[in-house]
Amino acid sequence: MTKPQVHKKNEKIEPRTWSLKGFLQEIKRIHDDIEDRRFAFILGAGASINSNIKGAATLAKEWMEIIYHREHEPTSDYKNWLKSNPLKFKDWDPNNLAKHYPQIFEKCFEGDHDSGYAALEKAIKDGKPSLGYAVLAWILSSTRHRMVITTNFDNLVADAVSIYGGTYPHVIGHESLASYAKPLSRRPIVAKIHRDLFTDPINTCEGTSSLEQSWNQTLKNIFRFYTPVFIGYGGNDGSLMDFLQSLDTEEISGQPFWCYYAPDGAPNDTIKQLMIEHNGVLVPGMGFDELMLKMGEVVGFERHKQITEIKNNSAQLINQIQEQMLSLNKETQDVEVKKILKPQENEKQNWSWLDWQLHIDEESNIAKQDKLYLEAIDSLSDSYQLLSNYALFLEHEEKFEDAEQYHLRAIEASQQKEANCLGNYAAFLCEQEKQEDAEQYYLKAIKADPNHANNLGNYATSLRSSNRFEEALKTIQQALAIEPNDERLLNIKKAIQSDLEEETT
């Protein structure tokens, strides 16, 4: 580890300052070359401003104005009142109200604790993750840099990881859960050291002046593996800052980086001193969105790829809920449920594939069903759901040549990524005694969705019919690991085991 620099007496010491480009190059070098080094993102209120959440400075200003107008007429001189240190705070700075945020919060809402937290809830309720959080979500879910430590109460990180990262982080929203913030977790971690909004957030002078003891050892363990990157954090609370100042240089992995918004000027002397003590680096830069986009780029972020993944995830969720609605409509005898699901006749031009399928299922006449399928496919020619369902309909009517054409059209429409389409065609090929071709499509279906128990069960049956009993047993066990109580799968397993017993006797 690098030792602290030794300076002459009375020498004015300044922390190292790197350019943004130099910082990004170092991030890339560490990411590419030091595989056991990770970055932890230390986020403050400044990271949330682009997400339509008010920062500490804005809230403190609003609350000071509330205090002022409780005691003064609108025509009074607010600016001079503000300069006079009206609340008698120590080291008052009217140009940096964020510095006094906890004291102002306490004064504004003294005597009405719940009103204060209602104000906080209002301040963050309209927040939506900005571009910077989308990139951060990708980093947290796609790289080894899986740690966020924040003084914020909002859920922007968790929401972003869920929406843009395709997973969900482990959110530690209370000090009683601090020990669960495992440094080498396989899942992204969001450690909220001032608690979550809904678990009595720490927002008072006493609460923000010191870190809860349970966080101390947890954060020490984290910094053994993670290099902290501070973004949007003003260092105005005593809790995290005092903890950081108490650490030895050797207790932080690598050199910490303090990124600050250059137009607002350099960080305060406390932050500078902290960077000096820990051989850290100040990085003047830009807003959170721009900074995260550039950081993401050097560790592999690709915007087109993320957008495609988001579209696919959204489409899968929509299709999943529609499939469940269709299944419920077929299974239920509840007239009211069927009525809720029934499509609106006057909106036929806006029908989804589900609306068409529900409408088709209401019709009992086969010829009319056939006609409705063709009408639906004419309206939604790229709907692999309708194409696949029509193929199954044609199979049932023993129109096998037409059924195969629509199976292939469904697979093409789904870009060969939809497990149901691939599995349905594989089952069709089995029925046509084309086992080798069927196997190829079963394998494609299982690759598209390894957790599709029905396809695994059908494939096991296909393997059994080819006397490949060991493979069949392994496959059906995979299916039962997903659906352990499925009676059909259990019966398939029994049949395969019986075949194996006969083979060995």
Strands laid side by side in the 16-17 sheet = 16-17, 281-285, 257-261, 226-231, 38-43, 147-150, 189-192, 170-172
* Helix, strand, coil fractions of the chain, as percent rounded to 5: 60, 5, 30
For residues 288 and 50, the answer to whether their CB atoms sit within 8 Å is yes
For residues 68 and 79, the answer to whether their CB atoms sit within 8 Å is no
What is the predicted pLDDT for the residue at 40? 96
For residues 265 and 280, the answer to whether their CB atoms sit within 8 Å is no
Out of 30-39, 133-142, 202-211, 223-232, least confident range: 202-211
Record the tokens describing residue 459, joined without a space: 């494939």
- The band of 111, judged by pLDDT with boundaries at 50, 70 and 90, is confident
CA distance 377 to 495: 40
CA distance 359 to 344: 10
Residue 52, Ramachandran bin (φ over 0: left; ψ between -120 and 50: alpha; else beta): left
pLDDT, greater one: 125 or 459: 459
Record the tokens describing residue 332, joined without a space: 């239920």
What is the predicted pLDDT for the residue at 1? 46
Distance separating the N- and C-terminal Cα atoms of the chain: 68
What is the predicted pLDDT for the residue at 205? 63
What average pLDDT does range 282-306 have in this prediction? 94
What is the predicted pLDDT for the residue at 317? 85
Single-letter code of the amino acid located at 292:
M
For residues 187 and 169, the answer to whether their CB atoms sit within 8 Å is yes
What average pLDDT does range 341-364 have in this prediction? 85
Kindly provide the b/e burial profile for residues 135-151, where b requires at least 16 CB atoms within 10 angstroms of the residue's own CB. Answer: bbbbbbbbbbbbbbbbb
What is the predicted pLDDT for the residue at 231? 96
What average pLDDT does range 273-283 have in this prediction? 95
For residues 202 and 102, the answer to whether their CB atoms sit within 8 Å is no
Helices (H), 112-256: 113-124, 131-142, 156-164, 205-209, 213-223, 238-246
- The band of 45, judged by pLDDT with boundaries at 50, 70 and 90, is confident
Instruction: Identify the top-confidence range among 35-39, 76-80, 264-268, 312-316.
Output: 35-39
- The band of 50, judged by pLDDT with boundaries at 50, 70 and 90, is confident
> What are the chain's domains?
16-53+129-301 (3.40.50.1220), 56-124 (no CATH), 302-342 (no CATH), 357-504 (1.25.40.10)
